[in-house]
Chains A and B, each alone.
Chain A
């Protein structure tokens, strides 16, 4: 090695000031969004809506009204609510996998048409043809709802490509799981997104498990936020159980991405309370582990405590709960009473045009 070459410590130093850390540092300096009482109340209500909606979906599944695979978002509510609250409605895009009910509710999409999709009825958002895993609302910039693990990552990069191409200033959030994070297409996307400076935030919802596989049994690098390093994508590690921390991280990332600086990789540490889907033998973790997270880290309880500290009366929180339950109840009734799709729908939407 000649003297002109940098020494290992010099290399390490260069790595240190490498921009990859800049966003994490910015976030560390100011971790939580300063929400007004009204804003936090709104986040609380959205999270509660997702929770109650998912509980109801679980019930309807048990009654046989929902079939197939149904993946609940219970425990992860702060992620979708915190991130999506920072987006520009009508401009930005979102895409995720099959655990998608929460992301749609966080957009304010009517719970009725989501529930009716779960029961496979004609008033469902995909006319009953897609079901739980395949829901879309192009109107809201929500591009699904994808059943194949990892597929949404290049697709999301494509949505970001379109934003850049059109120069519309929009950004894309592409959500995927800790399990999905091992798919090869994820890294192909990282490379192209970074190379072409695509406006995308890769959001890893690390709920610690992929079906029955704990992160440490499937991943050589379990700190997912570091996985963009080889592609020069800055990483952020965020507590996904705190809606205000998530919101703040979102703002920092969005500013970076919207500024034309290329992608950000964000890892949100979260937890799913329920089984992977409705059929889950739950042998891979202990009840105590689940109960422990529920009791100590629950995002909704957390927000509730904070609201009460802000002086919100218990009665107004009860009022919200009532409102949410009523809305979920109506969604369920609607989803049960709405008719099945017309038989002719079997052949519609296969192709757009007629040839």
Chain B
């Protein structure tokens, strides 16, 4: 029985990739583990292995094809003794055989209820190959949809007035912007170095440090063992000793191992020493939910760090802010926690072509102007807010979106000014609701903006549960555009 080989998802976030190279040809016998093809994703080139032995029947997608969607049939394998096990285990499956009694088969999944199409896998493989193509693509896409899909956004923030007039803009991903920020600061200042897990030879677990080892060598781009507590302490100590360390955490979930040094050693030193001993270290890495990685790998630590005096906490959204604020963070005399987001690394934005693009820490940015209501957000929540704002504009609600960018010190003035203008506010935060940044913004509005309020400030946060793995529960747990729209309408009494 022929088996379809489909474009694999080689990472939690991969939706399409390039079929760079076939390493087998039609008619080849392959065994399990043989590399069939090289596939390029946005993060890396990966080898795609055969799972079973068999003969390569047909290479459906030619090599060099770009943008092959996950789930597309890329080759057909003629199975070997594939049917042996099936024939003997259940010769003629009764029509209402229980699902778990059915034989192993690479059959298309029976989706949307109704009669499952179990029989004749060959038929839908050949006969309606071309027509079925589009439909099955859609189906596979639906299968892949996760809770983090709803955090996606195509709408770009309005151009910031911090960027001088007439400056050339280029398109860059957040990943590139961060890398460039580090490279530029390392060129500028000998004291700057980066350390972390897989930052050097591997080029970064999320490829943010790509190329740095090559340019700066192993003295300044340092692979550490998996010892967060230890290397965060070493980074902190090196900063006390006069260097400018950038400590990368593979994700901020793992910084929990190191949080003692971030808070007890880095944040409090300047104060305890009466200003004698500084600690100019940057702790950076991805923060917040990623696709289907479940509770221990999906948390927004923004509110945790933002609660600690002595720290600067930055959580940018677009490429320009990522670059300009990371450069500022590296130059800062204070310890900075710099929270990135894995789901945003690959997004493209306009980036000013300036020799030295440094932005002020502690300033929020209005990424969309409006008059009816203010949404305050940061990091990935900004994209969701912009999507909601666009939809609401169609209904005559003009939303102003404020991107906090820095969580500590918080730019109260910009928040309160916007409130004064719109008199209504919603806070959008991809994170737990309790003791959140949203809680803080709401407090500020109560304490200092009460007279400007025409409605209670509402928050749209993730559900108050550890992040579940199951796709449907993940969707239910994370913020989405609809929830933002509902909250905005509520504060507008519409």
Q: Which residues of A contact B (CB under 8 A)?
A: 55-56, 58-59, 61-65, 67-69, 112, 117, 120-122, 124, 126-134, 146-150, 179-180, 182-185, 210-213, 217-219, 273-275, 278-284, 287, 290-291, 294, 322, 325-326, 328-330, 332-334, 336-338, 340-341, 343, 345-347, 350
- Contacts known (A67-B471, A273-B33); A218 close to B202, Cβ less than 8 A: no
Q: Are A69 and B226 in touch, CB under 8 angstroms?
A: no
Closest A residue to B298 using CB positions? A68
**Interface residues in B41-99 (C-beta closer than 8 Å to A):** 41, 43-47, 49, 51-52, 70-71, 84-86, 88-89, 99
4 other A-B residue contacts (CB within 8 Å) besides A61-B9, A69-B293: A65-B143, A129-B473, A278-B12, A338-B99
Does B369 sit within 8 A of A, measured CB to CB? no
Q: A56, A180, A326, A340: which contacts B85 (Cβ < 8 A)?
A: A326
| Chain B residues within 8 Å of chain A by Cβ, number | 78
**Interface residues in B180-202 (C-beta closer than 8 Å to A):** 197-198, 201-202
Does B368 sit within 8 A of A, measured CB to CB? no
Overall SS of chain A's interface: loop
Q: Are B294 and A62 in touch, CB under 8 angstroms?
A: no
B residues near A212, Cβ cutoff 8 Å: 198, 201-202
Closest B residue to A345 using CB positions? B473
A residues near B49, Cβ cutoff 8 Å: 274
- Contacts known (A64-B140, A64-B143, A120-B469); A183 close to B226, Cβ less than 8 A: yes
Does B335 sit within 8 A of A, measured CB to CB? no
Q: Are B294 and A131 in touch, CB under 8 angstroms?
A: yes
**Interface residues in B215-259 (C-beta closer than 8 Å to A):** 223-227, 229-230, 253-254, 256-257
Does B138 sit within 8 A of A, measured CB to CB? no
**Interface residues in B343-374 (C-beta closer than 8 Å to A):** none
Q: Are A146 and B103 in touch, CB under 8 angstroms?
A: no
Q: Are B8 and A61 in touch, CB under 8 angstroms?
A: yes
Bound complex: CA of A185 vs CA of B33, how far in Å? 36
B residues near A130, Cβ cutoff 8 Å: 294-295, 469
Q: A183, A217, A279: which contacts B44 (Cβ < 8 A)?
A: A279
Q: Are A326 and B202 in touch, CB under 8 angstroms?
A: no
A residues near B227, Cβ cutoff 8 Å: 182-184
Q: Which 10 residue pairs spanning A and B have beta carbons closest together?
A: A329-B104, A131-B469, A62-B8, A67-B292, A68-B292, A279-B11, A281-B44, A120-B470, A128-B470, A147-B296
Bound complex: CA of A124 vs CA of B469, how far in Å? 11
B residues near A64, Cβ cutoff 8 Å: 9, 70-71, 140, 143-144
Q: Are B46 and A280 in touch, CB under 8 angstroms?
A: yes
- Contacts known (A133-B294, A212-B202, A294-B33); A62 close to B6, Cβ less than 8 A: yes
Q: Are B297 and A69 in touch, CB under 8 angstroms?
A: yes
Q: Are A218 and B226 in touch, CB under 8 angstroms?
A: yes
Q: Min CB distance, B2 to chain A, in Å? A: 15
Closest B residue to A146 using CB positions? B296
A residues near B104, Cβ cutoff 8 Å: 325-326, 328-330, 332-333
B residues near A330, Cβ cutoff 8 Å: 100-104
Q: B70, B226, B256: which contacts A180 (Cβ < 8 A)?
A: B226
Q: Are A329 and B230 in touch, CB under 8 angstroms?
A: no
A-B contact pairs, 25 of them (CB 8 A): A55-B32, A63-B140, A65-B143, A67-B292, A68-B12, A68-B292, A120-B292, A120-B470, A122-B470, A131-B292, A133-B297, A134-B296, A183-B227, A213-B197, A218-B223, A218-B225, A284-B202, A287-B35, A287-B47, A326-B103, A333-B104, A336-B109, A337-B116, A338-B99, A340-B471
Q: Are A69 and B144 in touch, CB under 8 angstroms?
A: no
Q: Are B469 and A68 in touch, CB under 8 angstroms?
A: yes
Closest B residue to A126 using CB positions? B469
Bound complex: CA of A31 vs CA of B93, how far in Å? 48
Closest B residue to A120 using CB positions? B470
Bound complex: CA of A267 vs CA of B478, how far in Å? 41
- Contacts known (A212-B202, A326-B103); A341 close to B470, Cβ less than 8 A: yes
Does B288 sit within 8 A of A, measured CB to CB? no
Q: Are B198 and A213 in touch, CB under 8 angstroms?
A: yes
B residues near A338, Cβ cutoff 8 Å: 99
Bound complex: CA of A350 vs CA of B226, how far in Å? 30
Bound complex: CA of A15 vs CA of B117, how far in Å? 70
Q: Min CB distance, A64 to chain B, in Å? A: 4
Q: Are B291 and A67 in touch, CB under 8 angstroms?
A: yes
Does B205 sit within 8 A of A, measured CB to CB? yes
Bound complex: CA of A333 vs CA of B102, how far in Å? 7
Q: Are B88 and A322 in touch, CB under 8 angstroms?
A: yes
Bound complex: CA of A333 vs CA of B7, how far in Å? 20
- Contacts known (A120-B470, A134-B469); A337 close to B110, Cβ less than 8 A: yes
Does B476 sit within 8 A of A, measured CB to CB? yes
Bound complex: CA of A255 vs CA of B164, how far in Å? 74
- Contacts known (A280-B46, A347-B465); A179 close to B105, Cβ less than 8 A: no
Bound complex: CA of A92 vs CA of B143, how far in Å? 40
Q: Are B473 and A148 in touch, CB under 8 angstroms?
A: no
Q: A180, A217, A343: which contacts B473 (Cβ < 8 A)?
A: A343
A residues near B52, Cβ cutoff 8 Å: 55
Closest B residue to A350 using CB positions? B465
B residues near A185, Cβ cutoff 8 Å: 257
Bound complex: CA of A326 vs CA of B103, how far in Å? 6
Q: Are B254 and A279 in touch, CB under 8 angstroms?
A: no
Q: Are A217 and B223 in touch, CB under 8 angstroms?
A: yes
Most buried by A among B6, B7, B294, B471: B294
Q: Are A133 and B99 in touch, CB under 8 angstroms?
A: no
- Contacts known (A55-B51, A67-B146, A350-B466); A279 close to B99, Cβ less than 8 A: no
Does B29 sit within 8 A of A, measured CB to CB? no
Does B160 sit within 8 A of A, measured CB to CB? no
Q: Are A68 and B47 in touch, CB under 8 angstroms?
A: no
Closest A residue to B230 using CB positions? A184
